[in-house]
A and B are shown apart, each in its own frame.
Chain A
Amino acid sequence: MTALGSPARTLRGLLRELRHLSAATGRPYRDTAAYRYLMKAFRAHQVTSEKLCRAQHELHFQAATYLCLLRSVREHMALHQEFHGKGERSVEESAGLVGLQLPRQPGGKGCEP
Chain B
Amino acid sequence: MWRSCLQLWDWGPRLLKWPLGGPICSVVPGPIPQLRARAYAPPKERKRFYQNVSITQGEGGFEINLDHRKLKTPQAKLFTVPSEALATAVAMEWDSQQDTIKFYTMHLTTLCNTSLDNPTQRNKDQLIQAAMKFLDTDTIWVEEPETLVELQKNEWDPIIEWAEKRYGMEIGASTSIMGPSIPAKTYETLASHLASYNMWALQGIEFVVAQLKSLVLTLGLMDLRLTVEQAVLLSRLEEEYQVQKWGNIEWAHDYELQELQARAAAGTLFVHLCSESTTVKHKLLRE
Contact A79 B269 (CB under 8 A): no
Contact B258 A33 (CB under 8 A): no
B interface bracket (residues with beta carbon within 8 Å of A): 35 or more
Helix, strand, loop or mixed for chain B's interface? helix
A interface bracket (residues with beta carbon within 8 Å of B): 20 to 34
**Shortest CB distance A6–B (Å):** 14
Chain B residue at smallest Cβ distance from A67 = B265
Query: For the complex, is A72 an interface residue (Cβ under 8 Å from B)?
Result: yes
Which has the most chain A C-beta neighbours within 10 Å: B37, B225, B250, B262?
B262
Chain B residue at smallest Cβ distance from A78 = B258
Instruction: Tell which of B93-101, B174-182, B184-192 binds the partner.
Output: B93-101
Bound: A32/B51 CA distance, A? 13
Given the complex, which residues of A lie within 8 Å of B108, measured CB to CB?
A: 69
Bound: A34/B85 CA distance, A? 8
Query: For the complex, is A61 an interface residue (Cβ under 8 Å from B)?
Result: yes
Contact A34 B88 (CB under 8 A): yes
Given the complex, which residues of B lie within 8 Å of A93, measured CB to CB?
A: none
Interface string of B231-272 (1 = CB under 8 A from A): 000000000000000000011001100110110011011001
Contact A3 B227 (CB under 8 A): yes
Contact B107 A33 (CB under 8 A): no
Given the complex, which residues of A lie within 8 Å of B269, measured CB to CB?
A: 62, 65-66, 69
Query: For the complex, is A4 an interface residue (Cβ under 8 Å from B)?
Result: yes
Given the complex, which residues of B lie within 8 Å of A4, measured CB to CB?
A: 227
Contact A62 B272 (CB under 8 A): yes
Known A-B contacts A34-B92, A37-B84, A62-B272; A1 and B258 likewise in contact (beta carbons under 8 Å): no
Contact A32 B95 (CB under 8 A): yes
* Chain B residues near A (Cβ < 8 Å): 2, 37, 51, 54-55, 84-85, 88-89, 91-92, 95-98, 102, 105, 107-108, 224-225, 227-230, 250-251, 254-255, 258-259, 261-262, 265-266, 268-269, 272-273
* Chain A residues near B (Cβ < 8 Å): 1, 3-4, 18, 21, 23-25, 32-34, 37, 41, 57-58, 61-62, 64-66, 68-69, 72-73, 75-77, 79-80, 82-84, 112-113
A sample of 4 more A-B contacts (CB under 8 A), given A34-B88, A68-B229, is A24-B95, A34-B92, A69-B266, A77-B102
